[in-house]
Amino acid sequence: MKLKPIWIYLENGIFLEAKSFGSDGTRVGEIVFNTSMSGYEEIMSDPSYAGQFVVFTMPEIGIVGINKDDMESDRVHASGMIVRNFNEYYSNFRAEDSIDHLLIDNNAIGICDIDTRYLTTNIRDHGSKMMIASTEISNKEELKEILHSFPRIEEVNFIKEVSTKEPYIHKSGSWDGTQFKYHDAPKGAKKKVVVLDYGVKRNILNELCMAGLEVEVVPHDSDIEVLIQRYRKGEINALFLSNGPGDPMFYKEEVAKIKTLIEAKVPMFAICLGHQLLSIAHGYPTYKLLFGQHGGNHPVRYERNRVVEITAQNHNYNVPASICEIAEVTHKNLFDNTIEGVAYKNEPIFSVQHHPEASPGPHDSKYIFKEFAQKI
């Protein structure tokens, strides 16, 4: 295939030319970098990356192709991917197609033949920035004008875009690495958890099933009073607040609903965005990190036993240290000492910032799903 030229402009004035694959056109998003050595398909299909361009620090991307079983949702949610070397030809016995075709089918842009080390260090030193990429417009000033006219990522309700529109029951279990196929979740699950979908990853649902839970997924705008009544009647046993994209401080309606759930003393477990929304609902606003945590090699210490786990991360926002006034800090990030997990005092609620479902990423933290099942 013949790669086309593409022009990139960042809000701090950086203007670059590179090559493109995937879809043509013009896209706007926030640029972040991810340090995972594998899992580009899972990352691109993770709803938490909606509205973002992902710079991959792994230089070779595309070699293993893509397949439907590795998708974390039904489509690509990221605005685009930025890689050093794009491999059109893939070689993997599980591969069904190329990452190029996946991006084309999902209207997402691929950028290659660019210095990803330069972009990564720039983000590290100066923070995540809004950017625009175009195969149609080469004029810097025109790109700058379009970028400044677009809403920032902090001003967009991405949850509405990525959440399910209808409730559904999730039944499949986690990946069986020996047979390379999904196997059924444990039969006879007696406890039921309802997932409030802010952009949930498929493998989170798989792990909830594997922990022995019956899993029902509902839209983000579901009637909270109905869920509380179902809990009081014993029809459901707990709620799970999922991961998702965007600035948690933007989601006023979701926070108000979570406050109602807290007051009703409904047991809850949350990951990533859900973890942040719980903090805000308790009166502790989140703050934005300089460049966030995105990767599969982040050391997190479980404070209860002082064991260090290598974890998968994907977030730009964090809960404040002052939350220790009302919650036990259960996990800490050893890169920057930020809070990675809390258990709220005198409440049946706990949450983590990192991704224990490990897709992609290490498996050190999968025990958290079993802890949730045991608690309910």
Q: 42, 112, 272, 309: which one is catalytic?
A: 272
Distances (CA, A) of 117 to 26, 150, 168, 285, 368: 23, 27, 42, 33, 34
Q: For residue 272, indicate whether it is catalytic.
A: yes
Question: Over its length of 376 residues, how does the chain's per-residue pLDDT go in tens digits?
Answer: 789 999 999 999 999 999 999 999 999 999 999 999 999 999 999 999 999 999 999 999 999 999 999 999 999 999 999 999 999 999 999 999 999 999 999 999 999 999 999 999 999 999 999 999 999 999 999 999 999 999 999 999 999 999 999 999 998 887 666 443 455 556 666 899 999 999 999 999 999 999 999 999 999 999 999 999 999 999 999 999 999 999 999 999 999 999 999 999 999 999 999 999 999 999 999 999 999 999 999 999 999 999 999 999 999 999 999 999 999 999 999 999 999 999 999 999 999 999 999 888 889 999 999 999 999 9
Q: What does the pLDDT read at residue 184? A: 59
Q: For residue 112, indicate whether it is catalytic.
A: no
Q: For residue 355, indicate whether it is catalytic.
A: yes
Domains and CATH numbers, the chain: 4-153 (3.50.30.20), 158-375 (3.40.50.880)
End-to-end CA distance of the chain: 54
Residue 55, Cβ density class (10 Å: 0-12 exposed, 13-18 middle, ≥19 buried): buried
Decide if 350 contacts 341 (C-beta within 8 A): yes
Q: Which of 193, 195, 189, 185 is nearest to 217 (CA)?
A: 195
